Amino acid sequence: MNILTNILATITPDVDSLTFVADSLAVTNNNVVTETELSMWELCLKGGIIMIPLLILSVISIYILVERFFAIRKAAIEDKTFMKRIKDYIHDGEIESAMNLCKKTNTPYSRLILKGITRIGRPMNDVLVAIENVGNLEIAELEKGFTWLATTAAGAPMLGFLGTVTGMVQAFFAMASAGSNANVTVLASGIYEALVTTVAGLFVGIIALFAYNYLVAMVNKVMKQLEAKTMEFMDLLNEPAQ
């Protein structure tokens, strides 16, 4: 009986030993989790100096998107009674009142009509050319800043790739310098740090591209409105001759 008891005591694990092992494993797991956690800010810092121009481009793109959005939306506001009132004023010979209405409305299409009114009495072709010139200036004003967005959409990914290439060069150089101490961990760390700039460049480029296309669509809507107002005004000038 004593022999059996001794055998059981030998093969039965000590509770304190099990507790120690469990605590050790928990500490090890916590350390692993802590080491693998990486905040977004720390990840951005890993990208190096290339992240600075990418940050500047992203801020400029967002500013242009917001500023142009409100400017174009304001320009697209349409007064449904505007052309009817202009028509009544011109038919009644109240040219001054029609000009004052255009100045008071202060929209792209009202400035087009104002230019046309100032050319009343001249050949129709001259009136149309004058209106088209003002229209081109209005569209150019609405598209202010679009060049920045187009440049960012194309240039940001290229900057990201440049940062990745330079980062890869540094990673392989560090591995070569380590000599016999080089391992996969050193290479992997350098590679993921290099790829941060690619992710950032693509992110900024995508934002700029979508912003550019969205604003272009808004400007095209305003252009159609200007063309419609121009044709309506030209038809109005032709009415007395009919």
Length of the chain: 242
pLDDT in tens, 194-209: 788 888 899 999 999 9
pLDDT at 39 over 80: no
Please tell me what DSSP assigns to residue 81: T
Whole-angstrom Cα distance, residue 37 to residue 74? Answer: 46
Per-residue pLDDT band for 177 (boundaries 50, 70, 90) equals confident
DSSP 3-state assignment of 62?
helix
Q: Which range among 65-69, 116-120, 186-190 shows the weakest confidence by mean pLDDT?
A: 186-190
CB distance 193 to 167 below 8 Å: yes
Q: 73 to each of 144, 174, 187, 225, how far by Cα in Å?
A: 14, 53, 51, 13
Percentage with pLDDT > 70 across the chain: 74
Q: 193 to each of 36, 95, 177, 196, 222, how far by Cα in Å?
A: 14, 69, 18, 5, 45
Whole-angstrom Cα distance, residue 175 to residue 169? Answer: 10
Res 240: pLDDT: 52
pLDDT in tens, 82-91: 999 999 998 8
